[in-house]
Amino acid sequence: MTRPSRTASLSRATSESSVELALDLDGSGTSAINTSVPFFDHLLTAFAKHSLTDLTVRATGDTHIDAHHTVEDVSIVLGTAIRQALGDKSGISRYGDALVPLDEALAQAVVDISGRPYLVHSGEPAGFEHHLIGGHFTGSLVRHTFEALAFNGGLTVHVRVLDGRDPHHIAEAEYKAFARAFRQAKAFDDAVDGIPSTKGAL
């Protein structure tokens, strides 16, 4: 069976940032990422690698004020590109679930490519949201990126931190768990006939 090409190329420019992004949902996990926020580059590289999504991102922004605007805008564009590349979602597995450790940290993510944006996010330790990871990426941005990805990608996403002490490990475990769950959900399933919903649309 010939599958449709699941690619997207998007750009977004505001007074706060400029983003150019391209992805292939059926890639091998290669990436070329420069958002001008190094730890976010690290997380997106992990997402690409573990979701088997080829991803190119070039972004600049007012990071001299805060990383927030650039990270948010990249996440919006990534979510929008995912939604566009998924097409009508015919033949996909739809659901994915992953439990991923990183040393002492353990995170679980569940993804439903539902067309209904929703995020449930819990378990980060007290104070995580205030921690500067790498001196520039605030812990609160982890949840914020998942919000942007879920709402712009049309995804239902549950992420739970089950254990962890090091903020870097916690954030990376969350992203790797999300990546692995998304990899399962976007995968084609030969047993699926058409769109995997009783509604006939996702």
Q: In whole numbers, what is the pLDDT of the chain averaged over residues?
A: 96
How far is Cα 20 from Cα 57, in angstroms, rounded to an integer?
A: 6
Contact status, residue 86 vs residue 152, Cβ threshold 8 Å: no
Return the SS3 of 77. Answer: helix
- pTM, 2 dp: 0.97
Bridge pairing between strands 95-102 and 105-112: antiparallel
Q: What's the whole-number mean pLDDT along residues 10-17?
A: 95
- In total, the chain counts a number of residues equal to 202
b/e map 170-179, b = 16+ CB within 10 Å: bbbbbbbbbb
E-only strand ranges, 46-166? 54-61, 95-102, 105-112, 118-122, 132-133, 137-138, 156-163
Segment 33-78, tens digit of pLDDT: 999 999 999 999 999 999 999 999 999 999 999 999 999 999 999 9
Amino acid symbol at 129? E
Segment 182-194, tens digit of pLDDT: 999 999 999 999 9
Instruction: Say yes or no to pLDDT of 135 above 90.
Output: no
Question: What's the distance, CA 57 to chain centroid?
Answer: 13
How far is Cα 92 from Cα 190, in angstroms, rounded to an integer?
A: 8
In sequence order, the 6+-apart residues with CB closer than 8 A to the CB of 139 are: 124, 128, 129, 130, 131, 132, 133, 167, 171
How far is Cα 96 from Cα 180, in angstroms, rounded to an integer?
A: 8
